[in-house]
Every structure is written in structure tokens, then in C-alpha cells.
Amino acid sequence: METLNPQVKAVEYAVRGPIVIKAGEIERILQEGGKKPFTEVIKANIGDAHAMGQQPITFLRQVVALCTFPELLDSPSFPEDAKRRAQRILQGCGGRSLGSYSASQGVDCIRQDIAAYIEQRDQGVPSNWENIFLTTGASDGIVSILRLLVSGEGRARTGVMIPIPQYPLYSAAIAELGAVQVNYYLDEDNCWALDVHELHRAYQAAKQHCQPRVLCIINPGNPTGQVQSKKCIEDVLHFAYEENLFVMADEVYQENVYAPDCEFHSFKKVLYEMGPEYFNSVELASFHSTSKGYTGECGFRGGFMEIVNLDPEVKAQLVKLLSVRLCPPVAGQAAMDVIVNPPQPDEPSFAQFHKEKASVLGALADKAKLTEQILSAVPGIKCNPVQGAMYAFPQIFIPPRAVEEAKALGMQPDMLYCLRLLEETGICVVPGSGFGQREGTYHFRMTILPSPEKLKVLLEKVRDFHINFYA
Amino acid sequence: METLNPQVKAVEYAVRGPIVIKAGEIERILQEGGKKPFTEVIKANIGDAHAMGQQPITFLRQVVALCTFPELLDSPSFPEDAKRRAQRILQGCGGRSLGSYSASQGVDCIRQDIAAYIEQRDQGVPSNWENIFLTTGASDGIVSILRLLVSGEGRARTGVMIPIPQYPLYSAAIAELGAVQVNYYLDEDNCWALDVHELHRAYQAAKQHCQPRVLCIINPGNPTGQVQSKKCIEDVLHFAYEENLFVMADEVYQENVYAPDCEFHSFKKVLYEMGPEYFNSVELASFHSTSKGYTGECGFRGGFMEIVNLDPEVKAQLVKLLSVRLCPPVAGQAAMDVIVNPPQPDEPSFAQFHKEKASVLGALADKAKLTEQILSAVPGIKCNPVQGAMYAFPQIFIPPRAVEEAKALGMQPDMLYCLRLLEETGICVVPGSGFGQREGTYHFRMTILPSPEKLKVLLEKVRDFHINFYA
């Protein structure tokens, strides 16, 4: 431990932190016949849809299975459109095998499909496939870009602006790279909206001790679930333009918008609409993933990023850096291809694909509503609407005696709360302190992924626990 | 470029470096109907078996396809043993889906299968499955361990001892982490053997300016193809024990041993046989992969590492670090499971599996022999036997006029040689300077992966080119 990399020591990742390790221990006790006041642990700590019972999209799995075992291309039980997709992907692979390394940027034809998808999503804003990089989940892309951008010493060290609350991949990567974390606070009283004045404040304060070079945005928000308005995105991009910041837009929840008055706007499209002065100058990387949306294919570790306005020399450095790790998993690339190139209306799988997609997204929208309704009715819990993504991040009021007890135990009050919740009910959620929160406020993050029946039980147990804890 | 991370700038990775980019350009010219003195580019730069036409192992692909699309479990066209493997893997996955995140260390039952495989490989030396970590290819494991071990400033900075020639993942990771690269030279005149006196020399020299903490070994060797004797491994482990070095044993080519007088000995087994004083103290990490061996499944990015004698607190730090990236691709984990848990003699797939495995390894052994025979007969080329792995690393004699010309062009002489070879013959190999070599000597690395017919043509073209170039 003495000689361990101090930047590794500084890393924290609450989503799989101590509370989740504790949940695993309790699960083992239950499996071995031990007694607890509940019969199962419900893991609402991580956005892992299939683990919570969500079924895979049939067409996606058909295409990946066909790519994996091409003898199935002769099987009459697979639809023609799935076979066409698989054949096309295999033609892009060396030796027509998923077992070959792809180019470090990913398979060419998949990059082309992604560019076409982005153009359609952004209503015609051009996308150059040579700016598309497949990644090992979105996390890999985010860390790769940060790795490029961190430099300098002392006051010249790169500052990375991140929202608070944030997804802790960001703080972990910043710690590991030894960059400076610059917090800007989302406005909880305004449904976790991003206020550009707060960006200015954070930037000016940070300038005293580092060089802010990067602005990270998560939209729809994780853990906060807000969906940014177009006006807000314009303000953010204008600010980035003025201050010459590299914008990292984490848009992995772009398909997960539930609130009827909200709409997903990509940073790229908004930048384009602001005119060439902006579109030709602001450096932007946008990230997407197979793990979220309606597919929830976390295990395949698929994802991509689109980079805009990267200096060609820097882009060459990025390619070089990625080439050391050879390539992202090709099965995950194939899964990504299905998401950006789904069945068309004249294809045999169209109806089933859309039925399955609508079913997943419809259920998520219902569960987002249910979560807000039940939690916001609990005295001592304040829960904003879950406009998008897959999480609620309610504020919990923790009485002073519990705060003192936590201090005496050397832990955060919300950690004490979540540990008690786990021990009394078997529900595993993550303390707000793992994501960041305003001093003196306490929260937890829970996913909305359990089945509707299970989610209802879970929320009612949280309600009863909270009332009891508070008393 | 000015503010780019200087450690990223310092990274080099020749296996996908400038010569490979040039090869891609030439391929595009050929595709567009351009004229060259050859009709195809042969990429012998990277150990990418399937891209060179090697067929996947049927059983492996059946298991992964069944995991991917479990409806196939009802299909009579899949054998029962493949179905049993798939069912077992799926039972280890959240929601019985390959689309769930696994634990950051990998799926438990796959870790258990790996431990059982290691015990069998090492003739009973115990392996604890809780010390097995699945990884995203071996590269990911290697970089993760290095990341833990790099610390200190100035003369206290971690030195990492690597063989020269080396696989450039090591130098790239060392540059990126800002560690100190400590070279020890393999003995080309002795079939690239590792001489422990050279380890002592390199260690003592490095002590003057850094703190050597890590010793990396590649066995069988990449790019050099040697297989270490048991005696040599004992010497290395004794040295590591004396100097308190963390040993990283890159054993991804453990199945790839061709020379009849050579045998693979794992570092773990040799350490065990040296007695408890050694086995309970030397810190060791060993790496394996789905990408090499007889499967060549590079695209799945499967791999694992076994760690021995890691301090429990440090191990907890490793788990934490890995958890930030969530998990290795689960399809790659499934592929790894097949390798460590192949069909047994009483199972229906046994005969075909072993036929396919023997066919791949037999062909590789033939090609290793062929490569050595043809190259070592060329005047001005010196080629050691390819005892194992997948590469030849012949020494090429470059005449002084060519060395001068290269200098005038600002490039390494072996880079000039390889560029000319590519332009005149379409053959893509990697200059020795990308792997490291003794000052004033020149080499290239080529894979032995093309089909026997193609390999013969390739070698004859290299011979003719060399004679011509030399003249």
C-alpha cells in the first residue's frame, strides 16, 4: 500500500462501492440460509437493465448470434433482415470473422451506419464517419478523451468542469489522471437544471488555481434525470465558445426521455444551428452506448463517440492512443450497429422490433412517474420529476441525531442511511455523497429498473423505512 | 497539440504505427483500381489469426452464440455439451443475460473454471478463483497492474524492467503512466534467451536513477518467439525474490509452443516448486488471452489474469480501479470459459474440437519451421528458430549506404527497409525499432499466420527483396 500509485488510491466509485460489497455479503448470507427481515436483496444501485429482468431486443441478439456463428445464416429460423445486417457486418471484418481485430476506430461500415444515424437524428446536420470512434462502452471513450486533455502543472494543470451531482466515472477518471475537478452545481430547486451563471462562477473560481479546459455535461442527467432545454444547451455552448473549453457531452440516455414536455437535443445539432462561427470552432465529443436506451446491453460493452473540430494532429494522437488497446469488442460493435440501423418499415422484423422497443420505453416512462409520485409524497423526501435517464435522486432529510451518529461512526450521514435501508429492507441504493451534493444536503440514487410490481414494493418499503428512520 | 497530455505524445505503438497506415493507403489505391507491382497487401504486422484466414473453433462459437441468443438452446442443431456450457454461463449472469454487467472481476463460475484449468495445467498447484480477474484482452490486465504499481518522483519513481525486444504495449503503457522504462536485453546469439546476469546489470544501472519495482517477462516471447527453460524461470524468480520485484508474466502464448525440445512452464508453477519461502512471498501476475493460442479470438477481447501474493488491501484497490470500467465484455468472458473448459472425452464435441485445435497448432508449427528455414538461408538475414508464439524477428543486415539514406530522410534504417518492402511487394511487417533492438542492429517482426501457400510466397518475396535491396 505504501508504494501504490497515489492517484489510484484517490479514486472512488460509489456505484460499486462499499454499500454494494455489503449487499453482496447479505446476498451470500441469504443463500446460505441465514435469516434477515427480507428474502431478497434488490439492487437498485446500478443501471443494469437485464439484471433487473428486462428482456433483450430479439433482433439485436439475432444479428449478433448470426455474426458469432455464421452457419446460422443458412437457418430458416432467422429473418432475412437480420441475416443481411450480419452479412454486412461480417464483410467489414477481417477474414469475415468477429474474431479479428477491427481497426482501432471500429469497423468501417459500422462507423458509416453511425454517421447516417446521427444525420437522421439531427435532422440533416452532417456527420463524417471518419469522426466516429467505436468504444468499449461509453466509459472508455470518456476516459480516452480526458486522457488526451490533461496536462500542465500547478496553476496550468487542466481543470475539468463536471456537474454536481455527477456520475462518478468523471471524478474517478479525474483523480486517476491527476487533473483538477471543477464542480458546477445543478439547480435542485429547478428540477436539476443547469444554470449558465453557475458555470461562470465555477469557471472564475477555478481559474485561481488551475486552467479549466474541459466542460463535461450529462444530458439526460445521471443521477439527476433532468433533460436539458435547447436554450440551456445554447447557453452552455456559447460559454464554451467564449472560454475555449472542450465540451464532452455524455448523451448515453438520449433515447431515455419520458416527460411529455421534454425532448432530447444533441449538443452537436444545437451547435450547428448556432451557425458556422460556433460549428467550426467549438471542440466537442459526444458519447453513446449500447448499455442504456431501450436495449440495456451493458455486458457487450458497446459504445461510440463522435468528435467535432478536433485538430487533425490531435486526432492522429487519439488514434495512436486507442491503437495500443487494439480495438473495442467486435460483438459490442455489432450490437451498436443494430441500434443505429434498426429494421425498416418494409423489413420482416420491423413490427416486432418496434413493439419490443415501445414496450421497454413505455414501462420506463411509467416507472419514472411512479417513482416520483410515491417518493415525493413521503414527508422528509423531496423528489424531482424523473424526466429522463434511469434514476431518481431524491433529497432525504436526515435528523440531526442521525447526522451525529454517522459522524461518530466516521461515515457520511447518507451512507449510514443507505446501510440501514439495506440492512432493514434488502434494498441497495447509493448514497448521494458518492455523486456529490451541496454541503448539508443528503440524497440517494436509485434506478427505476425493477419490474413495476417490484418497484412499487421497493418504493413503499423506502417510504416506510424513511418515516421510521426519521422518527 | 500544445496543451495535449505530454505522456500521450510520448506513446508509440509500432504494431499499428505509420507503416500500417501506409499499408491501408496502398490497399485503398488497389481497391480503386490503382496500379502497384502486386495485387494485394499481405498484413503480417499483427497477430490477427482470423484476418489471415484461420477458422474459428466451432465449439467456442456455438457456446457464445447460444449465450447470445438463448432461444437456440431449443435447437436440435447444437450439441448438448455446448448447451450445457452456455446454460452454466448464463446462470452466472444477472437476469441470465449476456447483456448484464458482470462483477468487475468477471462472472464467478468462469473464474472458477479458470482456476480449475490452472490447477490442471500446473499439475496440482493450487489456484484460488478469487485471485482470477477476467480482463478485456490481456492488454487491459497488464495496463491495470502497471497502473497500480507506478508511483514516486525522481529517483523514487517506479522503474519497470522490460525485455528488449519487447511487445510495444509495455513501452506505451510505461510512457503513458510516466514510469521509467528499464531495458534488459535478450540474447540474440543464444536464441533470444533471457540471461539473469543481464537482469542484474540492468537493475543495478537503473537503481542510479529510479526505483525498479516491476519485472515484465514475455514467455513464449513476443516478438522473439523463444520459450524459456525451467532453469531460466527459476533464476528470474530468484532474482525477483532477492530484489523484491513484482513479476508480470505475459503468458498469452502458453499454448503456442512448436519446438519439440521446448515446453511451456508457467511462472506460477515454477514459483511453487521453489518452495514456500518463494511461493508465499513473490508478487506475481500472470496474463492470458482468447486472442492467441489455437482460438485466435482477438475481436472478442477476452482474457484473464491470476494474481499471487497481492496484499489484500492492494487487491481491494485493484477491484476498485476495475469497477470504474464496470466489467470486461461478457461475450469475451464466455469465449475464455470455453478455452479453459473444453469438451471432455465423453462429450459429443470432443472429437471435432480436438481435430480443429490440432489442425491449427500443427499448421502453426509447420509455418514456424518454414519461416525459419527460408529466412535463415537468405544471405544477410539471420533468423533464430521460432520456438513458440506467432512471430519471427529476423536480423537484417542493412548496407551503410541505405543507413545513410534513411538518416537523410530522418527515419530509422529498418523503417526505410520495411517501407520499401511494402511498396515493392505489398508485404507489411513492422520495423525492429518499434520493439527495441541493440544499437546498430536491425530487424523486423513478421507473423507466421498467413496460409502455408501464402506464407511461402511471402517469404520468397522477402528473400528476393532483401537480396535486391542489399545489392
Domain ranges in chain A are: 6-53+354-470, 101-340
Which string of b and e fits B338-354 if b means at least 16 CB within 10 Å? Answer: bbbbbbeeebebbeebe
Is the confidence at residue A15, as pLDDT, over 80? no
Q: How far is B423 from chain A (nearest CA, A)?
A: 21
The torsion region of residue B266 among left (phi > 0), alpha (psi -120 to 50) and beta comes to beta
Give me the mean pLDDT over the A199-215 stretch: 97
What's the confidence (pLDDT) of residue B132? 98
Report the gap between the CA of A103 and the closest CA in chain B (Å).
9
Please say whether the beta carbons of A304 and A254 come within 8 A: no
Contact A325 B139 (CB under 8 A): yes
Q: Which residues contact B405 (CB under 8 A, 6 or more apart)?
A: B416
Which homologous superfamily does the CATH classification assign to the domain defined by B6-54+354-470? Aspartate Aminotransferase, domain 1 (3.90.1150.10)
Which of A171, A324, A447, A451 is the best substitution to test chain B (most B C-beta atoms within 10 A)? A324
CB A100 to CB B13 under 8 A?
Answer: no
Q: Which residue stretches of chain B have pLDDT < 70?
A: none
Non-local CB neighbours of B287 within 8 Å, separated by 6+ positions: B135, B138, B141, B142, B248, B249, B250, B251, B252, B303, B304, B305
pLDDT at position A16 is 74
pLDDT category of residue A14 using cuts at 50, 70 and 90: confident
**Is A301 in contact with B68 (Cβ distance < 8 A)?**
no
Provide the pLDDT for residue A17: 77
Determine whether B276 is exposed, middle or buried from the number of CB atoms within 10 Å of its CB (0-12, 13-18, 19+). Answer: exposed
Phi-psi region of A152 (alpha: psi -120 to 50; beta: other; left: phi over 0): left
**Cell numbers for B339:** 478455452
pLDDT tens-digit map of A318-351: 999 998 888 999 999 999 999 999 999 999 999 9
In this predicted structure, what is the pLDDT of residue B9? 84
Beta bridge partners of A395: A382, A443
The pLDDT of residue B13: 82
pLDDT in tens, B420-453: 999 999 999 999 999 999 999 999 999 999 999 9
Among the partner-chain residues B46, B95, B172, the one whose CB lies closest to the CB of A101 is B46
- Buried/exposed code over A174-187 (b: 16+ C-beta within 10 A; e: otherwise): bbbbebbbbbbbbe
Task: Give the total residue count for chain B.
Answer: 471
Cα A440 to Cα A395: distance, rounded to the nearest angstrom: 11
The pLDDT of A338-367, averaged and rounded, is: 97
Cis bond upstream, residue A163 (ω within 30): no
Confidence (pLDDT) at A325? 87
CA B335 from chain centre, in angstroms, equals: 17
In this prediction, residue B291 carries a pLDDT of 96
A96 CB neighbour count, 10 Å cutoff: 16
Which cell is A286 given? 459526444
pLDDT (average), residues A197-209: 97
Instruction: Report chain A's terminal Cα–Cα distance, integer Å.
Output: 42
* B48 with A169: Cβ contact below 8 A: no
Q: Which residues of B touch A450 (CB under 8 A)?
A: none
Average pLDDT of every residue of chain A: 95
Question: If contacts are CB pairs under 8 Å, which of residues 8-67 in chain A contact chain B?
Answer: 8-9, 11-13, 15-17, 46, 48-54, 56, 61-62, 64-65
Confidence at residue A156, expressed as pLDDT on a 0 to 100 scale: 93
Each residue's pLDDT tens digit, A400-412 = 999 999 999 999 9
Q: How confident is the model at residue A87 (pLDDT cuts 50, 70, 90)?
A: very high
Residues A28-82 have pLDDT tens digits of 899 899 999 999 999 899 899 999 999 999 999 999 999 999 999 999 999 999 9
CA distance B466 to B379: 9
pLDDT at A21: 86
**Average pLDDT, stretch A180-209?**
96
Task: For residue A384, give the C-alpha cell.
Answer: 424531482
Distance from CA of A76 to the nearest CA of B (A): 12
> SS3 sequence, chain A?
CCCCCHHHHCCCCHHHCHHHHHHHHHHHHHHCCCCCCCCCCEECCCCCCHHHCCCCCHHHHHHHHHHHCHHHHHCCCCCHHHHHHHHHHHHCCHHHCCCCCCCCCCCHHHHHHHHHHHHHHCCCCCCCHHHEEEEEHHHHHHHHHHHHHCCCCHHHCEEEEEEECCCCHHHHHHHHHCCEEEEEECEHHHCCECCHHHHHHHHHHHHCCCEEEEEEEECCCCCCCCCCCHHHHHHHHHHHHHHCCEEEEECCCCCCECCCCCCCCCHHHHHHHCCHHHHCCCCEEEEEECCCCCCCCCCCCEEEEEEECCCHHHHHHHHHHHHCCCCCCHHHHHHHHHHHCCCCCCCCCHHHHHHHHHHHHHHHHHHHHHHHHHHHCCCCEECCCCCECCEECCEECCCHHHHHHHHHHCCCHHHHHHHHHHHHHCEECEEHHHCCCCCCCCEEEEECCCCHHHHHHHHHHHHHHHHHHHC
Same fold: A6-53+354-470 with A101-340: no
Chain B CA closest to residue A6:
B151
User: Top-level CATH class of A101-340?
Assistant: alpha beta
Q: Given an 8 Å threshold on Cβ–Cβ distance, is A6 in contact with B151?
A: yes
Does residue A79 have a cis bond before it (omega within 30 degrees)?
A: no
Q: Point out which residues pair with A236 in neighbouring strands.
A: none
- Quote the percentage of chain A above a pLDDT of 70: 100
- B-proximal residues of A, 134-153, CB under 8 Å: 136-137, 139-140, 143, 147-152
Fold of the domain built from segment(s) A6-53+354-470: Aspartate Aminotransferase, domain 1 (3.90.1150)
Check whether A147 has a pLDDT greater than 90: yes
Asked if A52's CB is within 8 angstroms of B95's CB, the reply is yes
- Determine the average pLDDT of the residues in A236-263: 97
Strand B391-392's sheet: what is its strand order?
A: B391-392, B444-447, B430-431
What pLDDT is attached to residue B309? 96
**Which A positions 271-330 lie with beta carbon below 8 A of chain B?**
295-301, 311, 313-314, 317, 320-321, 323-330
pLDDT tier, A281 (very low <50, low <70, confident <90, very high otherwise): very high
User: In chain A, which residues have their Cβ closer than 8 Å to the Cβ of B4?
Assistant: 148-149, 151, 314, 317
